[in-house]
């Protein structure tokens, strides 16, 4: 298997997604790293079609913005974090499928 731009970028995206999952649950809610990540995820989605469903991307961005700007707290904040986490797990799964499965 030869390394390609698609393969390296997808591997990098999957790795950064796992890191963002840890950052989201371990650090403060007002960190900017997830927002920078979503810019890169949008660029990846525009460059490589049919790898990540845009609906999950949009849902994760909305959840990330709600978490970042602290409109909510308590159990609602935890619920939004769980929804964002599920969307990011979907991204990791699609990256693994794109690398090792047939797209």
**Considering only CA atoms, which of 90, 81, 100 is closest in space to residue 18?**
90
Is 52 within 8 Å of 9 (Cβ atoms)? no
pLDDT in tens, 72-84: 788 888 999 999 9
The residue written with tokens 């469903």 in the block is 53
- The pLDDT value recorded for residue 28 is 82
Percent above pLDDT 70 for the chain: 97
Per-residue confidence at 102, pLDDT binned at 50, 70, 90? Answer: low
């Amino acid at each position: 298997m030869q390394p390609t731009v698609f393969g390296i970028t997808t591997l990098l995206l999957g790795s950064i997604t796992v890191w963002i999952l840890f950052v989201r649950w371990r650090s403060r809610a007002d960190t900017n790293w997830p927002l920078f990540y979503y810019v890169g995820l949008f660029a990846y989605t525009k460059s490589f079609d049919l790898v990540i469903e845009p609906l999950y991307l949009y849902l994760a961005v909305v959840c990330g913005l709600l978490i970042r700007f602290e409109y909510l707290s308590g159990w609602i904040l935890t619920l939004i974090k769980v929804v964002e986490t599920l969307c990011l797990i979907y991204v990791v799964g699609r990256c693994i499928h794109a690398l090792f499965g047939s797209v």
